[in-house]
C-alpha cells in the first residue's frame, strides 16, 4: 500500500493500483531518444502485473501499530513481504512467461537491495530460500523462451537487463507520483536507445499534480495518469477497526499531469 498525504488524512493506494500507473507509463513509453519496447505487449503486462502478489494482503491489510494506519509497502514485516514475492511469479506466469520472468527478476532486485545486517537472524534462511527458488524459476523460463523465435532476442542478457531496468524505472516513477512529489526528484540509469539518462521530475503546481519530466520519455506530447485510493481520516487501534474504516472509506481519484 502507498500512502499519499492529503488535507483530510491519507490517501491509501493499493500496490496493484500503483502498478496500473506503471502500466499507464509503459503504454506511451518510447520516442526517438528512448527507443521502443520489445516485446511490447509482454512489457506492458509486466508493468500491470508485477505487484499482483499483493492482492491477498491488500484485501486484508494489517495495521502498523506505530502509525495507526495500514502498513505501507516500505514498512511491511519481512515474512509478509517474502510471502507476497514468493507467489508473484506463479501468478503472472499464466498471463505471460516473459512478464513472469521480469516479475521474478524485479523481486530479486528488491531483495538484492536488502541490508541483511539489519534483518532478523531467523529471516535470513527464508530470504536465501526465496532467492534460490526464483533462480531456478528464471532458469526454467529462460530455457522455455529460448525455444521460441518471438523471444530469442528479448532474452539476450543485455536486452533482458534493459527490460528489467525499464520495469524498475516505471515502478519507481509510479511510486514517486503516487506518494506525492513536492520537490525535484531524479531517477538515474534510465535506458535510452543508446546508453542511459537521468530523468528529472519537477513539480510545477502547488498541489504536486502537474509534473515536468526532463528529458521527455513518451510518444505523446503530454500524459495524464489516473489512480484511485481510499481516504482514511483517522488512525486506528486494531486490524478490525482499520479494515472497517477502509471498507467504508470514500474513494478519491487522483489525476497527475505529466508535461515536457
Residue-wise pLDDT tens digits, 117-161: 999 999 999 999 999 999 999 999 999 999 998 899 999 999 999
Q: What is the pLDDT of residue 175?
A: 97
Phi and psi torsions of 248, nearest 5°? -100, 0
| Residue 15, all three cell numbers | 500496490
Phi and psi torsions of 121, nearest 5°? -55, -40
Q: What is the pLDDT of residue 236?
A: 97
Average pLDDT (203-226) is 95
Q: What is the pLDDT of residue 149?
A: 87
Give how many domains the chain has, as a whole number.
Answer: 1
Q: What is the pLDDT of residue 125?
A: 96
Q: What is the pLDDT of residue 206?
A: 83
Round to whole Å and give the CA distance between 66 and 10.
Answer: 15
Using pLDDT thresholds of 50, 70 and 90, give the confidence band for residue 14. very high
- Can you give the residue range of the structural domain that contains 180? 2-259
157 DSSP β-pair partners:
none
Examine the pLDDT at 208 and tell me if it is beyond 90. Answer: no
Phi and psi torsions of 42, nearest 5°? -65, -35
Using pLDDT thresholds of 50, 70 and 90, give the confidence band for residue 207. confident
State pLDDT tens for residues 234-244: 999 999 999 99
Examine the pLDDT at 72 and tell me if it is beyond 90. Answer: yes
Q: What is the pLDDT of residue 75?
A: 96
195 DSSP β-pair partners:
192
The beta strand positions in 14-126, using DSSP E, are 63-64, 69-70
The burial of 151, by beta-carbon neighbours within 10 Å (0-12 exposed, 13-18 middle, 19 or more buried), is given as buried
Round to whole Å and give the CA distance between 245 and 75.
Answer: 20
Bridge pairing between strands 63-64 and 9-13: unpaired
**75, 227, 233, 259 from 245: Cα distances, Å:** 20, 20, 9, 36
Q: What is the pLDDT of residue 203?
A: 96
Give, as one character, the DSSP assignment of residue 71. P
251 DSSP β-pair partners:
230
Cell 481520516 belongs to 233
What's the whole-model pTM score? 0.96
Amino acid at each position: 500500500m502507498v500512502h499519499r498525504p492529503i488535507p483530510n488524512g491519507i490517501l491509501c493506494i493499493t500496490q496493484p493500483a500503483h502498478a496500473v500507473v506503471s502500466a499507464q507509463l509503459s503504454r506511451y513509453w518510447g520516442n526517438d531518444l528512448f527507443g521502443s519496447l520489445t516485446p511490447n505487449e509482454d512489457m506492458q503486462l509486466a508493468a500491470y502485473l508485477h505487484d499482483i502478489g499483493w492482492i491477498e494482503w491488500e484485501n486484508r491489510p494489517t495495521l502498523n501499530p506505530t502509525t495507526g494506519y495500514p502498513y505501507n509497502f516500505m514498512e511491511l514485516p519481512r515474512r509478509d513481504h517474502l510471502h507476497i514475492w514468493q507467489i508473484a511469479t506463479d501468478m503472472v506466469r499464466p498471463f505471460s512467461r516473459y512478464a513472469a520472468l521480469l516479475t521474478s527478476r524485479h523481486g530479486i532486485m528488491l531483495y538484492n537491495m536488502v541490508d541483511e545486517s539489519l534483518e532478523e537472524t531467523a529471516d535470513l534462511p527464508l530470504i536465501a530460500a526465496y532467492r534460490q527458488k526464483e533462480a531456478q524459476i528464471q532458469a526454467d523460463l529462460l530455457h522455455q523462451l529460448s525455444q521460441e523465435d518471438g523471444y530469442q532476442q528479448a532474452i539476450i542478457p543485455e536486452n533482458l537487463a534493459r527490460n528489467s531496468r525499464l520495469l524498475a524505472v516505471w515502478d519507481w516513477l509510479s511510486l514517486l507520483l503516487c506518494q506525492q512529489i513536492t520537490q525535484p526528484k531524479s531517477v538515474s540509469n534510465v535506458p535510452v536507445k543508446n546508453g542511459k539518462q537521468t530523468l528529472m521530475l519537477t513539480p510545477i503546481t502547488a498541489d504536486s499534480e502537474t509534473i515536468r519530466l526532463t528529458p521527455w520519455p513518451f510518444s505523446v506530447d503530454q500524459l495524464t495518469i489516473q489512480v484511485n485510493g481510499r481516504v482514511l481520516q483517522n488512525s486506528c487501534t486494531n486490524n478490525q477497526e482499520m479494515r472497517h474504516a477502509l471498507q467504508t472509506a470514500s474513494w478519491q481519484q487522483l489525476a497527475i499531469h505529466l508535461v515536457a
